[in-house]
A and B are shown apart, each in its own frame.
Chain A
């Protein structure tokens, strides 16, 4: 009997239409557990170096975590990994929702997909049985329609579906995968990898319960956490306002990314704040499996000139800014419409907004002309032009064909110095959190295996005061002293080394950071008890942190194998300059030398070569990864 995991890993070869099930032993699970560590194990073991992201040799891996699907709040997550077409590096993205728990109930911990199907297909997995079904009739259709058609075809409303949209079919380099129409494996273009395999969807349904070692104990902890969620200010804010609560404060503080990061002075920032959101577009809030936080927003607009379908959720913090002030747009109804379009086509809202903002700046600088845009007046603030460009990118039409590629390729193709206006790390555009006010986040952007990502660790502000949640709740990891958000000294570097490992652990286990410390109310002790009671393993934080560190090192080795090095751990140039305009005008520039020094120290703390950022063989041995030593020689 296994607890927490099913012991079944499904392999699917779409080329030959064959599938088989692997049953790794307990030690395998105790080493790689699930999530990103398990996915990286197969990427390193079964994928040849330097495969083309859209080739049949690229593996597309879906992996749930060991606590995914337990009754504990904040445990719905699963990862999708592949070599990313956006970055050429390790591609990875976690999503919540309902699909991960259902996959485990259907009898599998992970699905490893290789090959390319000759015609569109979808996978149908029910209670351990697997079918590869024709999807020709689904190809080209929006996600909402496909969701309905599959559920109708299989005759079960309780099926959970992860799918790509037309954007993934057309290989938009930042296409997403979505489950239940609202929960995204975003960034990194993993939807395009799925599209390249002609795999439109994976439908799962399980009628068995997950084996949990001590279910009563897990239920009891879940009850306690759920009770506290209602009283805690952090989780209550997430419930009442969602992540959009942050937009107003960012505007007030003067770091709202504006006009493709060229300014921080967005006059109409209040129009994007949560108060306006709640008055104008909010329909209701929703959430994930077994979680009472319900942080997700659902938007609806029914004006005569513009309508937004609530089926596709609503814009969150990142989307409001990326499709808002970053493009100079201050109309939430249009932002919600752009969000709906991105979600119907299943392309990433941050990258789409960033790409349109980039094109707008090229237009402003006369690098792009009306001829290039086919008559569209692509100026900052032109909300109708923004919507037109979303359509063009998703369909790869006209200028959209260029803008649907990675940022580096798009800038190269446009030429004329356009690369000055892309703001990326390892080819992925920076999200909407400015490292000048949270330098630890900047460090994470730089070292992230999958390019700039705001979900690579918690943020500096949670560790700034003696009373801050991170200081109060994470002493068990040796986090005792506060550090200023703008500090870039040794204490900050050491703090973010620990946070990176902790975060990597959450992504390996299938845990949402909105459910546990420092962002929310589940404590470290409760999380440990949930893991122990789920698996029956008498694990410790020592073993768990090693697991988080193992995942980081595996991703690092994968990238080294693909040609990445410390030279790729960078920050966009804009963050080495002061804020322009607004309350922080003339302040904030990160010192480049200090940042380089911080990166070197980070490598040393990780047991990596301080110059190249390559893991030392001894570190790999310590983590049980001696089988990877040849990869770093």
Chain B
């Protein structure tokens, strides 16, 4: 079982009314799929961080881990 803990930092936690989400998978899974399953709007996520690394949407998660969704930053 791959246990994924999604952390919603900064204002994402306000928008989605939660600090964390947890998802479980039987086999390796793409970041894109995790975003879809989390029901967090992809447009709200600018970067995905796994451990200390920023990864792309086609990155495959093979082991249990923490993932952070980093929100969009506008100008100003």
Contacts and interface: CB of A to CB of B under 8 A. Distances in A.
A252 B49 contact: yes
A241 B11 contact: yes
A54 interface: no
Interface string B37-49: 0000111101101
Q: Which of A252, A458, A466, A519 has the most CB of B within 10 A?
A: A252
Contacts of B73: 245-246, 249-250, 433, 459, 461
B25 interface: no
A405 interface: no
Given A459-B74, A461-B74, A253 B43 contact: no
B10 interface: yes
Contact of A469 (B14, B43, B47): B43
Contacts of B72: 249, 461-462
Nearest to B71: A249
Contacts of B54: 253-254, 583-584, 587
B76 to A, nearest CB: 4
Interface in B1-37: 9-11, 14-15
B46 A433 contact: no
B10 A274 contact: yes
A243 interface: yes
B74 A248 contact: no
A583 B59 CA distance: 15
B52 interface: yes
A465 interface: yes
Given A461-B72, A465-B42, A249 B15 contact: no
Interface of A: 233-234, 237, 240-241, 243, 245-246, 248-250, 252-254, 273-275, 295, 316-318, 433, 441, 454-455, 458-459, 461-462, 464-469, 485, 513-514, 519, 583-584, 587
Given A245-B11, A253-B70, 19 more contacts: A237-B11, A237-B14, A246-B74, A246-B76, A248-B9, A249-B10, A249-B46, A249-B47, A252-B47, A252-B70, A275-B10, A458-B74, A464-B46, A465-B42, A467-B41, A469-B43, A485-B46, A513-B75, A583-B47
22 contacts: A233-B11, A237-B14, A243-B76, A246-B74, A248-B9, A249-B9, A249-B10, A249-B47, A249-B71, A250-B73, A274-B10, A316-B76, A454-B75, A458-B74, A459-B75, A461-B72, A461-B74, A462-B72, A462-B74, A469-B43, A519-B74, A583-B53
